[in-house]
Structure 1
């Protein structure tokens, strides 16, 4: 489950999204697919579940969805926009 940092404010839509880091005053823009990944990360209990739903939504292989979702989460973490650690890079262990 992804949680935003207390100083991060997001507006996420199907058309994309933006984050405001009130510590720095910097805005981060997101593509529609990155916004979808964040919405799923916020709405699910695990990155694996978010990746599975992302794969279903975009009809892509689970491994590609895992890479996309974790990249978005880790970029936000690197910018201090999430409360928590980065998701370790590992192979997606989805159901077959």
Structure 2
């Protein structure tokens, strides 16, 4: 999801406020609603765990994809004009550290 948000500015402008809102909402406030609408307690626990873990990791990965060295980005743009090459050669390797330290 972070790669999709990093590649499309329009999708990022639409989904970023939602992801930040979900991340800053306390799970204590959301857990009763999830447990009320979940079909069984196991799926409620999995939903809570997903919310707690997914959004911080995704936002850190998005930040890592955005924090690319300007000189290296210009060099990749100079030699190739492909967004795929920019993603695979520069953005993903620079985002690995942000993803792992989330």
**What range is the shorter-chain TM-score in?**
0.3 to 0.5
Higher Cα radius of gyration:
2
Q: TM-score, normalised by structure 1?
A: 0.35
Identify, as 1 or 2, the structure richer in helix: 2
Identify, as 1 or 2, the structure richer in strand: 1
Q: TM-score, normalised by structure 2?
A: 0.33
